[in-house]
Each structure stands twice: as C-alpha cells, then as structure tokens.
A and B are shown apart, each in its own frame.
Chain A
C-alpha cells in the first residue's frame, strides 16, 4: 500500500510551533521517523500555521529534504502553494500534488492546473483528485462515481497516465449526524471506480478524518482501512507512527495475497516496502 504520512501538517501543534520558530530540527525528525516507520510519501501541509503559505511550504520542503530523500506529497487546495513547493523540491523519486476537486465555482480549470504542474514536475509526479465538484462533496454513491468518471476522462484527454492519478473519495467523520451511512457509500463507490480505467487509477483516502471527534480513533481508523483495502484502496494518508495501524496494513496486504506470507510478515513489512 502506498502510505502517505500525515504528520507534517501545520494543524499539529508541534509542527505549527516549529514553523513559527523556524525550527528545522523538529520537521527533520518527523520526516525521518515517518520514513523509518514505512512512509512511501511524506505529506507536507502548511495548514493554518502561517500567513505566508507559499514561503512556508518552501521552507518545509527544504527542511525535509535536508534530512531525507523520501518523496513528498505537497498538500494544498491552492495551486499557488503547490507551485511554490515545486520550485524548490527535488522530485526525482516522485511527488504527489494533493489535491484538486474536479472543478470549483471560482476556478473551473483547477484540475487542469494540477495536471499541468504534475507534467512539469516530471514523469513520476502524480496528482490526487477529490470526488468533489463545484456543487460540493457528494453524499451518495452515484454522484461520487460520476465525478470520478469525469476526473478519469479529463486525465485521459490530457494524456495523463491513469497510474499517476489518485482518486480520493473523501472520508467524512462518522460521528457527524447522519454520516454513518457514508463509510459504506465510499466502499460501494470504490467498487466501481476501480473499473473506470485500465490500469486502474489509485484510490486513496485521508483516513484519520473518519474518526474525527470520536472515541477509539485508532481502532476506527484501523478497521476502516482494512475494509477499504478489500474494496481496492491501495493508498491512504495515515499516521504511519501508529504501529497497530501499520500492522493492519501488513496483515491486510498479506491476506489479499499482495505480500507473500512468512512467519515474520509483520516485522518485515516496512523494510520490504521501502523503495
């Protein structure tokens, strides 16, 4: 599974503080720890930590790349912030641009911009596209699939390889009133999205969102991840430092025959997956 590590995000207080104090060491440590824990990519999100989002994105990228070469996932809804990160990044090992909706009321062409930036960033650059359009986040299965189909269609028209496309079906907090139907809706949507292109686009979710505000957060995250994996989820933005969660990833991949079983399958999962 392609694991995008979520911790370098200005929403977390330690990261917010490090950004404010320009403390590279905190960021470098997080990058290193998440890489050792098995991250395929490191998500980089400025969050609400700074007014100068573009400059902060650049500072984060540079701070991380001083300590490790793990590919990054630049996380912003603003193309300008992504572009700023791309200016200073070494994207040789790949980069993910995270994320764009199909379109927005204020910017009909936003997905085109992300694709263009990915094309410029090199052959290993991918994008995450959300099943969301100018009408907002759909609640039902069919609209999610319809938007995903339009995303795939747009990528194809642009000659953008489906293997460079991640579709994020948007996980909503299960604790929100009437939201308990959503996890199953997402799984049903995934069942269809994987057939939209051959090779199939990747499917990803921002996993921790599902347990936002709930008790037993880690347990909820783990169980949903295993369920989604069996419906074709092959990537997730997760807390790779959650060891129990990582064990679920390793076990799910083994049970789905994506990793060959050995008595030490848990122990070797992260080392085996390292690029």
Chain B
C-alpha cells in the first residue's frame, strides 16, 4: 500500500528579512544573513517550503559582565574588556554568523554608562567584524530612548537588526530604525495578543512589516520554555494561515535565559553531573527545542552550546 500524503499545505508564509549591508548596498559588512521564508511548519511539507536556515547570534556585551558563572566566563575572560575582540573571537574562533551587541552596561541599575560609550562600542564592534549586527538595548525604556537612537545612528547604513520595540515604548525606536534603515525587533512579554498589537502599532507608523523580527520573550528549559514554544508555534501557524501581522521571523534569547537556571550555573551539585557541562547542555537543549517551534534567530552565549546547535541545524538541513 502506498504511503498516504499527509502533508498539509498553507496559503500564507513567513516573510524574509535580510540583516546586514555589504559595500554594494551602502554598508561595510562582508556578509549578510537572511532568515524566515517558511511556507510550512517545521519538518512539514517539502524542502522548498522550509525556512531559510536558522542562525545563531552570539552575544557580546558592551561592558564586562559581573554575574556570569565561571563555566560561561571561561571562554571570554581574555576579551571581556574589549567588545571588539570579543566579537572577533565569536566570529573567528566560534563561527558566529551574526553578533548580538547587548548594551547591558547602560542600564541605570547596572553601570549606567552613557550614549557616548554605547556609540564607541558600536563602532568598535562594527569595525572588528564583518558579520551583520543585532543591536539590543538594556530594557530600561527611558535609557534606551536616550541611547539607542545614537547607537542606531552610529550604525547607519549597516542594515542592522535593532531592538526592542514594546507596546508602551515603540515610537522612538521605530522612528529611528526607519530613518537609519535598520530592521526592527518587536517585543512582547510572552503574550501573543500584545505581540500582534505591537506589530500593528509599528506598522501604523509606516514601518514595513517585512523588516520586522519578533521577540516573544524566552523561557529556558524548566523555566517556562513551554510558554515560549507554544507562542512561537502559534505565531508560525498564524503566519501560514495568512495573518500578515504575525508573519515575521522570530528571534529568541536563549543564552541569557539558560544561564539564569540554577541547573546551568550551580557549581556545588555533584548529583547533577559536571558543572562545566551542565550549562552548555542546558543552553543547547533550550535552543534546539525552540528551533522546532520555528524560531529563526537564536541568541546564544557558550561556544560549546552554539557549536552543538549549529551542528544540529546543519544535520537537519543537509540539503541547504
């Protein structure tokens, strides 16, 4: 008996977003990254219907992190004080195709660094590496509104991915991303209704839907991953059903969330296995799980976790 064809077909698709501009397009990047484009669920349908290959964006912080566990800090401690070298290490040693520059140090509750610092670091990282950049604010609305427009301007023409625009704080970043020609991350707190609303709000400001990447917030393995998973899944199904306000590629923050888990960072827990292995495993497992829900860009931290996930992507996407 013939095997019945059970693949579902859909009318809608996820939009494609290209990050980075090379010399030909007015930037200085040596490569670009294109994500999205899925016309079916993950593992559903034909090869032609799958998305562009998912990518890992490796995190680089604007200033020395104070709270990274040793198992994670080990890989970067020689470059902690030089974000340019840090980014270079991620690209040259760990094969990063995308760098996510996270401006943690500007947060008023952390180092409260100013815009000139952020601009300097942006220029330093842009000069050090040729891969496209993700520029990510500190999460404090007021400070981000002060600093991120300057950061955006410093990377003008590079076609970065900049974030994050939230329901109650989207205007400044949307306007500046539009003016400086960047792609935009819309951000919702694990709430699909707000996610759609933010997309509508930024699109009302004239921001093109096909230059948006969504961030639904992320939960790590054991810490709410099921919420993140089901929201990502629902976003993809809405996109495939033709909902243009939900048809964007998605980014998630696996590195930060995974390393908050005590299973990842606790050293003194002999029953849980080697401390140096637990963290990377926690991070890789979280990432691989979310990839299956249809996430397109994954922010990661530990090089071994990133290598595991990259290997996984290459294995399942051998035809690319």
Which residues of B are found within 8 Å of A268, using beta-carbon distances? 200, 245
* B binding-site residues for A, Cβ under 8 Å: 11, 192-194, 196-197, 200-201, 234, 238, 241-246
**Would you call the interface of chain A mostly helix, strand, loop, or mixed?**
loop
Q: Is A272 an interface residue (CB 8 A)?
A: yes
Return B205 CB to nearest CB of chain A, in Å.
Answer: 13
Nearest to A263 among chain B residues (CB) is: B197
A272 touches B197 (CB 8 A): no
Given that A272-B243, A273-B242, A275-B242 are known contacts, is A260 also in contact with B193, CB under 8 Å in the complex?
yes
Q: Tell me, in angstroms, the Cα distance from A271 to B209 when the chains sit together.
A: 12
Q: Tell me, in angstroms, the Cα distance from A114 to B269 when the chains sit together.
A: 73
Contact with B along A254-270 (1 / 0, CB 8 A): 00001111111001100
* A binding-site residues for B, Cβ under 8 Å: 258-264, 267-268, 271-275
Q: Tell me, in angstroms, the Cα distance from A267 to B192 when the chains sit together.
A: 17
Nearest to A261 among chain B residues (CB) is: B193
Which residues of A are found within 8 Å of B194, using beta-carbon distances? 262
Q: How many A-B residue pairs have CB under 8 A?
A: 35
A264 touches B243 (CB 8 A): no
Return A270 CB to nearest CB of chain B, in Å.
Answer: 11
Return A91 CB to nearest CB of chain B, in Å.
Answer: 17
B244 touches A274 (CB 8 A): yes
A262 touches B242 (CB 8 A): no
Return B231 CB to nearest CB of chain A, in Å.
Answer: 10
B243 touches A259 (CB 8 A): yes
A260 touches B242 (CB 8 A): no
A260 touches B238 (CB 8 A): yes
A262 touches B11 (CB 8 A): no
Nearest to B194 among chain A residues (CB) is: A262
B197 touches A262 (CB 8 A): yes
Which residues of A are found within 8 Å of B196, using beta-carbon distances? 260-262
Return B230 CB to nearest CB of chain A, in Å.
Answer: 13
B200 touches A260 (CB 8 A): no
Nearest to A259 among chain B residues (CB) is: B243
Given that A268-B200, A268-B245 are known contacts, is A260 also in contact with B234, CB under 8 Å in the complex?
yes
Given that A267-B200, A268-B200, A275-B11 are known contacts, is A260 also in contact with B244, CB under 8 Å in the complex?
no
Q: Tell me, in angstroms, the Cα distance from A261 to B242 when the chains sit together.
A: 15
Which residues of A are found within 8 Å of B244, using beta-carbon distances? 271-272, 274
B234 touches A272 (CB 8 A): no
Q: Tell me, in angstroms, the Cα distance from A268 to B241 when the chains sit together.
A: 15
B11 touches A260 (CB 8 A): no
Q: Tell me, in angstroms, the Cα distance from A263 to B194 when the chains sit together.
A: 8
Interface pairs (19), CB distance under 8 Å = A258-B241, A259-B243, A260-B243, A260-B245, A261-B193, A262-B194, A262-B200, A263-B193, A264-B197, A264-B200, A264-B201, A267-B200, A268-B200, A268-B245, A271-B244, A272-B242, A272-B244, A272-B245, A273-B242
Which residue of A258, A260, A263, A271 is within 8 Å of B192 (Cβ)?
A260
Return B136 CB to nearest CB of chain A, in Å.
Answer: 24
Return A101 CB to nearest CB of chain B, in Å.
Answer: 29
Nearest to B192 among chain A residues (CB) is: A260
